[in-house]
Amino acid sequence: MGDPGSAGASGGVTADDAEQLALLRAPAPRRRAGPAAEALADVDQVALVLVDTGLAHLDRPFEYVVPASMAETARPGVRVKVRFAGQDLGGFVLARRPVAEHEGRLTPLRRVVSPEPVLTEAVLAASRTVAQRYAGTLGDVLRLAVPPRHAVAEKALPSAPPTVTPLHRPAARAWAAYPAGASFLTRLAGGEAPAAALLARPAVDPALDWPALLAEAAATAVAAGRGALLVVPDHRDVARLDVALTAVLGAGRHVRLTADQGPQARYTAFLRVLRGHVPVVVGTRAAAFAPVRDLGLLTWWDDGDDLHEEPRAPYPHVREVLLARAQAEHAALLTAGYARSVPVAQLVEEGRLRTLDAPRPALRTAAPRVRVAGEGGEAERDPAAAVAHLPSAAWRVAKEALADGPVLVQVPRRGYLPSLSCQDCRRPARCPHCGGPLGLTRPQAPAACRWCGREPGGFTCPACGGHRLRSSVVGARRTAEELGRAFPGVPVQTSGSGAVLDVVEGSPRLVIATPGAEPVAPGGYAAALLLDAWALLDRPVLTAGEEALRRWLAAASLVRGTGAGGVVVLAGAPVHASIPAVEALVRWDPAWFAARELEERRALRLPPTVAMATLTGPRRAAAAMAEAPALPDGVEVLGPLPVSEEATRLLLRAPRQAGPALAAALAAAKAGRSARKDADSVIVRLDPPDPGL
> CB neighbours (10 Å) of residue 17?
7
Query: Measured from the CB atom, is 81 or 354 closer to DNA?
Result: 81
List 10, 62, 491, 693, residue binding DNA (CB under 7 A): 62
60-68, 112-120, 610-618, 656-664 -> range binding DNA (CB under 7 A):
60-68
Q: Which stretch binds DNA (CB under 7 A): 58-66, 133-141, 477-485, 499-507?
A: 58-66
Residues 45, 64, 213, 300: which binds DNA (CB under 7 A)?
A: 64
Task: Please report how close the Cβ of residue 60 comes to DNA at its closest, in angstroms.
Answer: 8
CA distance 459 to 457: 7
Q: In sequence order, what DSSP letters do the residues of 529-598 get, joined into one string?
A: EE--HHHHHT-SSTTHHHHHHHHHHHHHTTBPPGGGT-EEEE-SS-SSS--HHHHHHHHT-HHHHHHHHH
Cβ count near 299 (within 10 Å): 25
Among 10, 23, 40, 57, binds DNA (CB under 7 A): 57
Quick one: 4 or 383, whose CB is closer to DNA?
A: 4
Which CB sits closer to DNA, 349 or 678? 678
Q: Does 493 bind DNA (CB under 7 A)?
A: no
Region from 77-85, 156-164, 200-208, 608-616 binding DNA, contact rule CB under 7 A: 77-85
If phi over 0 gives left and psi between -120 and 50 gives alpha, with beta otherwise, what is residue 469?
A: beta
Tell me the closest approach of the beta carbon of residue 628 to DNA, in angstroms: 18
Q: How far is the CB of 2 from DNA (least distance, A)?
A: 6
Nearer to DNA, 17 or 350 (CB): 17
Piece in contact with DNA (CB under 7 A), picked from 100-108, 285-293, 460-468, 617-625: 100-108
Instruction: Give the nearest distance from C-beta 102 to DNA in angstroms.
Output: 4
CB of 57 to DNA, least distance (A): 6
Name residues whose C-beta falls within 8 Å of residue 430's C-beta, 6 or more positions apart in sequence: 436, 437, 438, 462, 604
- Provide, rounded to whole angstroms, the least separation between the CB of residue 24 and DNA: 9
Q: Which of 9, 156 has the CB closer to DNA?
A: 9
Closer CB to DNA, 82 or 556, in the complex = 82
Instruction: Identify which of residues 124 and 397 has a Cβ nearer to DNA in the complex.
Output: 124
Contacts by 522-525 with C-beta closer than 8 Å and gap 24+? 522/204, 523/204, 523/405, 523/560, 524/204, 524/405, 524/558, 524/559, 524/560, 524/561, 524/564, 524/566, 525/401, 525/405, 525/406, 525/407, 525/408, 525/558, 525/559, 525/560, 525/566
Angle at 61 between CA 58 and CA 66, to 5 degrees: 130
Least Å from the CB of residue 135 to DNA? 19
Of 6 and 327, which CB lies nearer to DNA in the complex structure? Answer: 6
CB 674, min distance to DNA, A: 7
Site for DNA (CB under 7 A): which residue of 40, 95, 106, 157? 106
- When binding is defined by CB under 7 A, the residue of 13, 14, 42, 87 that contacts DNA is 87
Contact map string, positions 646 to 685, toward DNA, x by CB under 7 A: ----------------------------xx-x--------
CB nearer to DNA: pick between 110 and 619: 110
Q: Is 125 exposed, middle or buried (0-12, 13-18, 19+ CB in 10 A)?
A: middle
Between CA 261 and CA 267 the distance in angstroms is 10
Q: How far apart are CA 244 and CA 223, in angstroms?
A: 16
Give the one residue of 13, 43, 85, 251 binding DNA; rule: CB under 7 A. Answer: 85
CA–CA distances in Å: residue 236 to residues 85, 201, 241, 301, 311? 46, 20, 9, 12, 20
**Nearer residue to DNA within complex by CB, 1 or 403:** 1
Q: Is 270 in the site for DNA (CB under 7 A)?
A: no
96 near 74, Cβ under 8 Å? yes
Please name which of 656, 674, 676 lies closest in space to residue 666, comparing C-alpha atoms: 674
Vertex 501 angle, CA 498 and 502, to 5°: 135
In terms of Cβ atoms closer than 10 Å to its own Cβ (0-12, 13-18, 19+), residue 506 is: middle
What torsion, rounded to 10 degrees, do the Cα atoms 294, 248, 197, 516 define? -120
Of 99-107, 172-180, 411-419, 459-467, the window that binds DNA (rule: CB under 7 A) is 99-107
d(CA 275, CA 291): 9
- Closest to DNA by CB, 63 or 546: 63
Helix, strand counts (H, E) of the chain: 21, 26
Return the range that interacts with DNA (CB under 7 A); candidates 63-71, 212-220, 403-411, 591-599: 63-71
Within 10 angstroms of residue 460's Cβ, the number of other Cβ atoms is 12
Contact between 351 and DNA per CB under 7 A: no
- Contacting DNA (CB under 7 A), which of 102, 414, 485, 620? 102
Pick the closer one to DNA by CB: 83 or 656: 83
Residue 592 in the binding site for DNA (CB under 7 A): no
User: Closer to DNA at the Cβ: 53 or 220?
Assistant: 53
Q: How many amino acids of this chain bind DNA (CB under 7 A)? A: 24
Q: Binding marks (x or -) toward DNA, 5..44, rule CB under 7 A?
A: ----------------------------------------
Nearest to 296 by CA among 367, 190, 374: 190
Alpha-carbon gap, residue 488 to 456, rounded angstroms = 51
Which residues face 437 on adjacent strands? 430
- Output 108 or 436, the one with its CB closest to DNA: 108
SS3 628: coil
Q: Nearest distance from residue 104's CB to DNA, in Å?
A: 5
DSSP state of 296: E
| Three-point CA angle 169, 171, 176, nearest 5° | 130
Choice between 142 and 569, CB closer to DNA = 142
Which residues, at least 6 apart from 163, have a Cβ–Cβ distance to it below 8 Å?
none
Residues 443-482 that bind DNA (CB under 7 A): none
Task: Decide: helix, strand or coil at residue 25.
Answer: helix
Q: Is 327 in the site for DNA (CB under 7 A)?
A: no
Residues forming contacts to DNA in the complex (CB under 7 A) are 2, 53, 55, 57-58, 62-65, 82-87, 100, 102, 104-107, 674-675, 677
